[in-house]
Every structure is written in structure tokens, then in C-alpha cells.
Amino acid sequence: MNYFKIAWRNIWRNKKRTLITAGSVFFALLMSIIMVGFQKGVFNNLVKISVEDFYGYVQIHKKGYTEDKSLLNTFEYSNDLEEYLLSNENVKDLHPRVETFSLSAFGEKTKGIPIMAVIPEQEFAKEGIKKRLIAGEFPTSESGGLVVT
């Protein structure tokens, strides 16, 4: 008698145990598949939010900025540069920014905070950012102001 036939008969000798084990394995596999799908969906959404609402797919920096992220390593944004970049068919939009960090203190607490200088009409026109505003309104170039997150 071959081993497969012996194993098959042994499995079904106790049907209740076999069904409980098979059901447990099926349920665990089903939950694992659901969780992996959920995880991938959440990660894809995080990437989409980060890319579309904040940093974009490409950033342009002055040479040396990556090693020394100082405001001294910024470059002047000009209309010629904008026209050159927008002439590329793969470029949809540009959002010039200056980013830096500072210290903020209140009472006994001090924390590092990011500071971003942007063109408000471009930056706050995005739907994802508009949804995040809890109170007040976004500043404009004329009104000035800042957004605290």
C-alpha cells in the first residue's frame, strides 16, 4: 500500500479533528490575506498623500544641499528656471519652497519645528491640504500669515 493512501486514511480517521484543523488553517490564511491587502492599501495611501500633497515625485536642490542642509545652499528661483522645467512634458506642476528648521519654546518645553516658505496660492490649492484645515483660512500672498500644524 502506498504512503499517500495510508496518510489519507489516517487524516480522515478522526473527521472532527481534521475539520477543525483545516478550518483553522483556512481562517488563518484568509485573515492573513485580508491583512496584507489592508496593509498594502494603507501604505499606498500614505505614499499618495505624501507625494501629491507635500513633496512631489522630484525635488531639485543646489549641489551640496543634501550634505549640508543650510539656507546658504539654496538657489534663486526664476521665471527662466520655471519655464525650462515646465517645458518637459513629464512635469505637471511646480511648487517652489524654502524649508528649514528652528527651535520653538513654550514654558519649560523646547522643540524643533520645520518651517516652510511657500507660494500660498499654489500650495493651498491642493484638495488634500484643504481637507486638513480645522479652523480659520489659508493665508494668501496679500494677507501674509502662517499655518500652524
Q: What is the pLDDT of residue 92?
A: 82
Based on the number of CB atoms within 10 Å of its own CB, is 119 exposed (0-12), middle (13-18) or buried (19 or more)?
Answer: middle
End-to-end CA gap in the chain: 73
| Confidence (pTM) | 0.55
The candidate with the shortest Cα–Cα distance to 121, out of 149, 148, 144, 101, is 144
Distance CA 73, CA 60 (A): 12
Q: What is the pLDDT of residue 17?
A: 93
Q: 3-state class of 6 per DSSP? A: helix
Q: Residue 125 domain-assigned?
A: no
User: pLDDT higher for 19 or 140?
Assistant: 19
pLDDT tens, 50-85? 887 777 788 888 888 878 877 787 888 888 988 998
Q: Residue 28 domain-assigned?
A: yes
Q: What is the pLDDT of residue 24?
A: 97
Q: What is the pLDDT of residue 58?
A: 82
Q: Residue 33 domain-assigned?
A: yes
pLDDT tens, 84-127? 989 998 888 888 888 888 899 999 999 998 888 888 777 777 76
Q: Which residues are registered as beta bridge partners of 97?
A: 118
Instruction: Count the domains in the chain.
Output: 1
Contact 129, 123 (CB under 8 A): yes
- Going by pLDDT thresholds of 50, 70 and 90, the confidence category of residue 128 is low
Domain membership of residue 21 as a residue range: 3-55
Q: Residue 63 domain-assigned?
A: no
CA 131 vs CA 41, 125, 137, 138: distances in Å: 20, 11, 11, 12
Q: Residue 103 domain-assigned?
A: no
CA atoms within 13 A on the CB side of 44: 6
Question: What phi, psi does 118 have (nearest 5°)?
Answer: -135, 170
- For the chain, what is the total number of helices (H) and then of strands (E)? 5, 2
